[in-house]
Amino acid sequence: MVTGGAGFLGSHLCEKLLSQDNDVLCVDNYYSGNRDNIAHLLANPRFELMRHDVTFPLYVEVDEIYNLACPASPIHYQRDPVQTTKTSVHGAINMLGLAKRTNARILQASTSEVYGDPEIHPQQEWYWGNVNPIGIRSCYDEGKRCAETLFFDYYRQHGLEIKIVRIFNTYGPRMHPNDGRVVSNFIVQALRGEDITIYGDGTQTRSFCYVDDLIDGFVRMMASPGQFVGPVNMGNPGEFTMLELAESVLRLTQSKSKLNFMPLPKDDPKQRQPDISLATRELNWKPTIPLEDGLQKTIEYFKKIAI
């Protein structure tokens, strides 16, 4: 079962699992997911789609649960911050309860946002983070942190088989064109010939992992030995400034867009780069798709859809 299965990451994960001849139950309430993302899978007899909100209990029979349900871009998770927190916390409780009842292995899609605005660089899994608990991003950051707490408490108290992955910036086809994330923002603005919006002076950094690399990491983590539960960072350690990303997008789209500098949003982290040595050691995983190759595939996707 994949919760959030009609979302950007969830739809790619459903595809991957089906390609391995699994039966896949996709669960989504379409808050930020989109039925179009999985429409091409509906004819597959091994694929089942269920409209459901994970903040309510779910009674199905499964042996593996990938819990991806939660809006992940600031525009979506800040639209209804109470619901965002409920999705992370109540959703985790309900999915953990389902895993306990069915004796299923369960993977939590956590986030690099648990590190907040980090005081160490790059970020390693032992770092507890620097998070504002009452800021405008807290519904997402603290919701995901609480979900990790619940996963480990179910692991210690009930012996549940858990896996936790901390996702760093991921991009690729099926990103929502208006999700407010930097890759989709830059590409859409460049293709429209609009000014590219850069917050701050453009020197803040991010690392960008192409979606296929991340999904491969999810599947490896779920299949890993039971004693390895994580959390484990997954992302591309290649670090780029926002200016470097903008320049790459302009070059690949051949756009004449100009750069427009705006004030940095509150609590926006200045640096984000994963240390993936744990994933490399335990899962033999590391990203293989260079940024420019992934950007080209993502640009081609956005050219095909109405933006």
Give the C-alpha separation, 156 to 98, whole Å.
17
In 3D space, the residue among 105, 111, 96 whose CA is nearest the CA of residue 144 turns out to be 111
In 3D space, the residue among 24, 32, 41 whose CA is nearest the CA of residue 4 turns out to be 32
Give the C-alpha separation, 299 to 29, whole Å.
27
Give the C-alpha separation, 192 to 291, whole Å.
22
In a 10 Å sphere around its CB, with 0-12 CB exposed, 13-18 middle and 19+ buried, how is residue 51 labelled?
Answer: exposed
- Could you tell me which residues are beta bridge partners of residue 130? 116
Using DSSP, state whether 48 is helix, strand or coil: strand
CA angle 211/212/217 to nearest 5° reads: 95
Q: Distance from first CA to last CA of the chain, Å, rounded? A: 31
Residues written for the chain: 307
Cα–Cα distances in angstroms (integers) from residue 244 to residues 171, 234, 301, in the given order: 16, 22, 21
Phi then psi dihedrals of residue 88, to 5 deg = -70, -45
Tokens of 274: 């994963």
Contact 41, 69 (CB under 8 A): no
Residue 210 annotated among the catalytic residues of the structure: no
Catalytic residue (one of 31, 66, 140, 171) = 140
Q: Which residues are catalytic?
A: 140
